[in-house]
Amino acid sequence: MPPLLPAEPEPVTATAPRAAGRTLFTQGWRDVAFLHWAVDPARVAPLLPPGTRPDVLDGVTYVGLVPFRMRRIGIAGSPGLPWVGSFLETNIRLYSVDGLGRRGVVFRSLEAERLPTVLVARGIARLPYTWARMRLDRDGDRLTYTSRRRWPAPRGAASRVEFRVGGRLAEPDRLAAFLTGRWGLHQNAFGRTRYWPNEHPAWPLHQAELLGWDDDLAAAAGLPVAGPPDSVLYSPGVDVRFGPRVRG
């Protein structure tokens, strides 16, 4: 019998609560935009892996749209790969907590511009990566991410996010800590729920002004959202280390 869910998960924190174990691979996440919409937890609960539930703050959970630059994926401590391991990515994500109180994310889709990486991630890591045509334009403190899916269906699903980077946050508030202080992911792989931990420094976070937004990716992932996001944040990025997956 799976363990009962605690009445309340551990307090919101902006720093990693536990070590990830031995290094399976490393990544750099750069120029990260966090766009989030508040939703009813009951709406997303059927989309989460068995043994997890929506993680909630003040009665709501969130749908995230997160474009960024992936930098030099490295395997088992090896130097990062300069081409196949460096690419643009945009993910649609939900927020989960399991019976041990471990907070995580659940990816509904992950657009990436490197087809070999997409095929490996889908086949071995069992993550819902998709192949897309992607671009990042930068003009001073103004960044624009665009993405259009190539494979698999729905082909042509697109996203465009334009924003201006604002001032550094001296201390993240409860919502910023809740949305960005995630130290692993939950996934249903080969019929079992797994938790995949990672370690990285606390995010350096900035305010961000949304200048333009148009997105089909959330709807393609079964999560249509309406209106402007409830939270927009930016981070120049962190370096990340992933440990082995464990049972959820």
Asked, for residue 48, whether it belongs to a domain, the answer is yes
In terms of phi and psi (left: phi > 0; alpha: psi -120 to 50; beta: otherwise), the region of 156 is left
| Long-range contacts at 225-229 (CB < 8 A, ≥ 24 apart) | 225/37, 225/39, 225/63, 227/37, 229/35, 229/36, 229/37, 229/65
**DSSP structure class, residue 124:** I
- Is 60 exceeded by the pLDDT of residue 32? yes
CB of 37 closer than 8 Å to CB of 217: no
Q: Is the pLDDT of residue 96 over 80?
A: yes
In a domain, 2, yes or no: no
93 or 191: which carries more pLDDT confidence? 93
**Domain residues for 212?**
25-247
Q: Tens of pLDDT along 114-171? A: 999 999 999 999 999 999 999 999 999 999 999 999 999 999 999 999 999 999 999 9
pLDDT attached to residue 155: 96
Q: Using CA atoms, how far apart are residues 227 and 242, in angstroms rounded to an integer?
A: 35
Q: Give the model's pLDDT for residue 3.
A: 35
- Give the residue from 187, 159, 205, 170 showing the smallest Cα distance to 246: 187
How far apart CA 101 and CA 87 sit, in angstroms, is 33
Summary mean pLDDT of the chain: 92
Q: Does 81 map to a domain?
A: yes
Predicted confidence at residue 7, as pLDDT, reads 40
Query: Is the predicted pLDDT of residue 37 greater than 90, yes or no?
Result: yes
Say if 1 falls within a structural domain.
no
| pLDDT in the model for residue 9 | 54
67-76 pLDDT tens trace: 999 998 888 7
Q: What CATH number corresponds to the domain at position 169?
A: 2.40.400.10
Q: Is residue 7 part of a domain?
A: no
Question: CB–CB of 207/231 below 8 Å?
Answer: no
Residue 79, domain member (yes or no):
yes
pLDDT in tens, 178-210: 999 999 999 998 889 999 999 999 999 999 999
Cis check for the bond before 82: say yes or no (omega within 30 of 0): no
Count: domains in the chain: 1
pTM: 0.92
Residue 12 lies in a domain: no
- Give yes or no for residue 4 having a pLDDT over 70: no
- What percent of the chain lies above the pLDDT cut of 90? 81
- 170 against 82, higher pLDDT: 170
Type of residue found at 68: F
Whether omega before 41 lies within 30 degrees of 0, making that bond cis, reads no
Considering the domain boundaries, does residue 10 fall inside one? no
How do residues 44-78 score in pLDDT, each as one tens digit? Answer: 999 999 999 999 999 999 999 999 999 988 887 67
Say what the pLDDT of residue 10 is.
58
Q: What percent of the chain has pLDDT over 70?
A: 94
Q: First and final CA of the chain: distance in angstroms? A: 13
pLDDT of residue 247: 82
More confident residue, 19 or 160: 160
